[in-house]
Amino acid sequence: MNASPRFSSVLFDWGGTLMSEDGPTDISMGLWPEVRAIDGARETLAALAPTHRLGIATNATVSKRDMIERALDRVSLLPYITDIFCYTEIGARKDSGEFWSKVFSTLGLEPGNVAMVGDTLDQDVIAPRKFGVFSVWFNEGGRSPLEAPGVPTIHRLPELVPLLRP
């Protein structure tokens, strides 16, 4: 294995990428009667964790950090996550320079050392690219690749692992 990964930090969108969003939208996911990890989420985080610092980047408006952690813990994903960047703390979304400034300063990294993966094309893929972040579209629903020409796209989360190799 190459010891120096291209991306020191890999950020995952939360809802619809690591965890299912099927639940009441007015209640924090951490309190939902049932929560579910997206297929392949755990194996993907486990594969990347030895060589990358992993984090969450979310625009969720209802959940604060403790509730995000609680939801992740309920599906055994929390141990892999070092950083949580959330709208409820930063007060800005992933299409804002304020959000990414907070990310880069906290990580102590240049934008080119950060990768982001998520299911929402504008917020998780197009916007991060504007701030120099390598982004991957998680197109689980099988939408047309023509919606994102030239963008690295995966249909299952484990496909991310080879994409991030040096």
Q: Among residues 6 and 126, whose Cβ is nearest to Mg ion? A: 126
15 scored as a contact of Mg ion (CB under 5 A)? yes
> Minimal distance in Å, beta carbon 123 to Mg ion?
8
Three-state secondary-structure class, residue 56: strand
Q: Among residues 51 and 59, whose Cβ is nearest to Mg ion? A: 59
> Minimal distance in Å, beta carbon 117 to Mg ion?
10
Report 104-163 residues binding Mg ion (CB under 5 A).
119-120
16 scored as a contact of Mg ion (CB under 5 A)? yes
Q: Are 51 and 80 in contact (CB under 8 A)?
A: no
Q: Among residues 47 and 117, whose Cβ is nearest to Mg ion? A: 117
- Give the tokens for residue 40: 């392949």
Interacting residues of 17 by C-beta distance below 8 A, sequence separation 6+: 38, 117, 118, 119, 124, 138, 157
Q: Are 12 and 118 in contact (CB under 8 A)?
A: yes
Q: Among residues 14 and 100, whose Cβ is nearest to Mg ion? A: 14
> Minimal distance in Å, beta carbon 26 to Mg ion?
17
Q: Which of 3, 4, 8 is nearest to 103 (CA)?
A: 8
Bridge partners of 55, per DSSP, are: 11, 83
38 scored as a contact of Mg ion (CB under 5 A)? no
Q: What residue number has its CB nearest to Mg ion?
A: 16
Three-state secondary-structure class, residue 94: coil
Please report which residue ranges of 7-149 form alpha helices under DSSP H.
41-48, 65-74, 87-90, 97-107, 127-130
> Minimal distance in Å, beta carbon 110 to Mg ion?
25
Dist CA 150 CA 131 (whole Å): 17
Segment interacting with Mg ion (CB under 5 A) among 7-15, 68-76, 109-117, 153-161: 7-15
Q: Among residues 51 and 56, whose Cβ is nearest to Mg ion? A: 56
List residues binding Mg ion (CB under 5 A).
Answer: 13, 15-16, 119-120
